[in-house]
């Protein structure tokens, strides 16, 4: 090595030693520079570069997520529940905002509308909308202000569309003389605490003035409808079949009305025949509000949980003749181990009346007029004189030959619209499986009795229900 090179190296080493004594950090940096020239990286440098790379990745990920959210939000169509067919989006949105402002949470200690508790006994306050023109309902929920607003707009639409349907069937709208209270809870426990019936998803009360569980100034004296969502808080994903079913009871009771007792002071509800009342509710629980009333009438035979049952029951030992339903009361309806089958046959009788042309509609109107005049022909009361009076009135309008004709018309409709070799209706497999029936057997209504097959069926139903909840299915 030459002298000059040795001199330079000695000077460099000396400089490093001096810096190391005076400033160790600088020495390390200097040494690092030398090593960096030889592409040798310290752990500190690796960490710094790794941090920088990590920040870049995180920033890129945040941007990607934000972009995806914007894309989803842009692609998601806003559902305007209850929008009128000729109403612009702007007009609806203004109407919705006005309604949203009217919804208030009940004040603590204000029990005019009742006192409510959850399953654990904790007091809860409801979100309440006291109604507006076109919506003769007091809408309440413990879910949210927005859910309550959607429900109010939905009920306005439901009342409007169902009124149109009943105007076609009867020739006149309902005479709503007082508000109807509609309450929707999130949980079944709260529903039960508020007086919900066991094994029910919802209920309609038509004589709540006898319960006396609201303040004297509460506007809804007679009618109250309750249901629960099983924890669902997204209005779009909440199945609304029970809501539509119970709302049909409400619409019917609004039309048949009340009678006063002999003193003229207390109103007693007129009770329609059970098969006719539940049969109509079975029809309306499948109503599709995206379609017109006429389109809904046309589709009655081709949808719902009862159509596939009737196709299998007809002309088998499960089938009951018309006389069975003509004389049935609520007690018998619930106690003979065939409640679901009774609902199915009640549905089919009303489906015939609502879609069987002039003959069917004429039968529907005659039963309505008779119900409004005297009530059901077989009430659950112990006053034998009243039973005889009601039965006589029904026998005068529907003597045996008239009943036989109605029965023939009904069974003829079933054979025409729901033949055993007919095509499957919408959701046929799911509806049969969820009630424990074999969808592959069409000659009769076959319960799944084999233990292994029952287990497989239960797993199938749970999987399908889970898929529907996760999917983008919107419940109308």
Residue whose C-alpha is closest to residue 323's, from 353, 308, 345, 340? 345
Question: Looking at the structure, do residues 375 and 476 belong to the same domain, yes or no?
Answer: yes
DSSP label at residue 229:
-
**223 and 124 in one domain?**
yes
Whether 150 maps to a domain, the answer reads yes
| DSSP secondary structure code for residue 300 in this structure | G
Neighbours of 189 (CB within 10 A): 15
Q: Please indicate, yes or no, if residue 79 is contained in any of the structural domains.
A: no
**What total number of domains does the chain contain?**
3
Q: What is the mean pLDDT of residues 185-205?
A: 94
311 and 252 part of one domain: no
Give yes or no: residues 234 and 376 share one domain. Answer: no
Of 41, 56, 72, which residue sits at a domain end?
41
| Distance in angstroms (rounded) separating the CA atoms of residues 413 and 351 | 9
Q: In angstroms, what CA-CA distances link 97 with 73, 103, 132?
A: 20, 10, 13
pLDDT in tens, 11-40: 444 444 443 444 444 333 333 333 333 333
The boundaries of the domain holding residue 295 are 282-476
Residues 255 and 314 in one domain: no
181: closest CA among 200, 194, 198?
Answer: 194
Task: Please say if the pLDDT value at position 418 is more than 70.
Answer: yes
Split at pLDDT 50, 70, 90, the class of 50 is low
Q: Are residues 288 and 362 in the same domain?
A: yes
Please report whether residue 104 resides in a domain: yes
pLDDT at 61: 64
Closest CA to 124 of 111, 136, 112, 115: 115
Helix then strand count (H, E) for the chain reads 18, 10
Do 291 and 220 share a structural domain?
A: no
To the nearest whole percent, how much of the chain has pLDDT over 70? Answer: 80
In this structure, are 240 and 293 located in the same domain?
no
Q: pLDDT grade, residue 472 (50/70/90)? A: confident
Looking at per-residue pLDDT, the higher value among 123 and 7 belongs to 123
Residue 410 lies in a domain: yes
Give the side-chain half-sphere CA count within 13 A for 258. 18
State the pLDDT confidence band at 119, using cuts at 50, 70 and 90.
very high
Residues 195 and 331 placed together within one structural domain of the fold: no
Question: Is residue 381 a contact partner of residue 387, using CB atoms and an 8 Å limit?
Answer: yes
Asked whether the beta carbons of 312 and 441 are under 8 A apart, the reply is: yes
**Residue 219: phi, psi to the nearest 5?**
-65, -35
- Residue 270: pLDDT band (50, 70, 90) is confident
The pLDDT of residue 251: 93
- Contact between 438 and 432 (Cβ < 8 Å): yes
**77 in a domain, yes or no?**
no
Within-domain flag for 59: no
| pLDDT number for residue 350 | 97
To the question of pTM greater than 0.85 for the whole model, the response is: no
Q: Which of 270, 292, 317 is the last residue of a domain?
A: 270
Alpha helices in 307-399 (DSSP H): 307-313, 322-326, 330-335, 339-355, 357-374, 384-397
Is residue 277 included in any domain, yes or no? no
Both 253 and 306 in one domain: the answer is no
Strand ranges (E), 12-141: 104-105, 116-117, 123-124, 127-129, 137-141
pLDDT digit string, tens, across residues 299-346 = 999 888 999 999 999 999 999 999 999 989 888 898 888 999 999 999
Query: Does 379 share its domain with 313?
Result: yes
């Amino acid at each position: 090595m030459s002298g000059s090179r040795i001199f330079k190296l000695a000077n460099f080493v000396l400089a490093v030693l001096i810096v190391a004594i005076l400033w160790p950090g600088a020495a390390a940096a200097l040494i690092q520079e030398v090593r960096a020239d030889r592409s040798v990286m310290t752990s500190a440098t690796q960490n710094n570069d790794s941090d920088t790379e990590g920040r870049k990745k995180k920033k890129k990920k945040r941007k990607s997520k934000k972009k995806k959210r914007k894309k989803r939000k842009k692609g998601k169509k806003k559902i305007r529940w209850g929008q009128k067919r000729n109403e612009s989006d702007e007009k609806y949105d203004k109407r919705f905002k006005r309604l949203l402002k009217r919804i208030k949470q009940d004040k603590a200690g204000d029990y005019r509308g009742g006192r409510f508790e959850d399953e654990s006994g904790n007091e809860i306050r409801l979100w309440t909308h006291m109604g507006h023109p076109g919506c003769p309902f007091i809408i309440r929920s413990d879910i949210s202000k927005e859910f309550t607003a959607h429900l109010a707009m939905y009920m306005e639409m439901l009342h409007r569309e169902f009124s149109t349907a009943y105007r076609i069937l009867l020739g006149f709208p309902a005479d709503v003389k007082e508000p109807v209270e509609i309450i929707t809870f999130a949980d079944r426990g709260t529903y039960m605490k508020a007086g919900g019936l066991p094994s029910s998803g919802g209920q309609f009360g038509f004589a709540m003035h006898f319960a006396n569980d609201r303040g004297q100034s509460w506007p809804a004296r007679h009618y109250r409808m309750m249901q629960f969502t099983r924890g669902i808080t997204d209005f779009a994903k909440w199945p609304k079949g029970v809501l539509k079913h119970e709302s049909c009871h409400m619409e019917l009771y609004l039309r048949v009305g009340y009678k006063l007792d002999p003193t003229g002071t207390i109103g007693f509800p007129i009770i329609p025949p059970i098969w006719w009342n539940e049969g109509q509710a079975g029809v309306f629980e499948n109503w599709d509000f995206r379609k017109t009333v006429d389109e809904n009438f046309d589709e009655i035979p081709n949808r719902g949980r009862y159509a596939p049952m009737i196709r299998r029951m007809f002309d088998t030992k499960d089938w009951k003749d018309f006389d069975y339903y003509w004389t049935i009361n609520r007690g018998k309806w619930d106690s003979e181990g065939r409640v679901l089958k009774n609902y199915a046959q009640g549905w089919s009788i009303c489906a015939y009346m609502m879609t069987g042309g002039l003959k069917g509609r004429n039968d529907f109107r005659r039963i309505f007029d008779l119900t409004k005049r005297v009530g059901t022909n077989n009430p659950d009361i112990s006053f034998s004189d009243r039973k005889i009076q009601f039965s006589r009135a029904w026998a005068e309008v529907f003597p045996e030959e008239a009943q036989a004709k109605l029965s023939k018309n009904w069974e003829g409709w079933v054979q025409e619209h729901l033949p055993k070799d007919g095509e499957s209706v919408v959701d046929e497999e799911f509806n049969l499986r969820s009630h424990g029936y074999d969808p592959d057997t069409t000659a009769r209504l076959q319960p799944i009795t084999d233990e292994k097959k029952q287990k497989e069926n239960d797993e199938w139903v749970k999987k399908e229900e889970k898929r529907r909840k996760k999917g983008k299915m919107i419940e109308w």
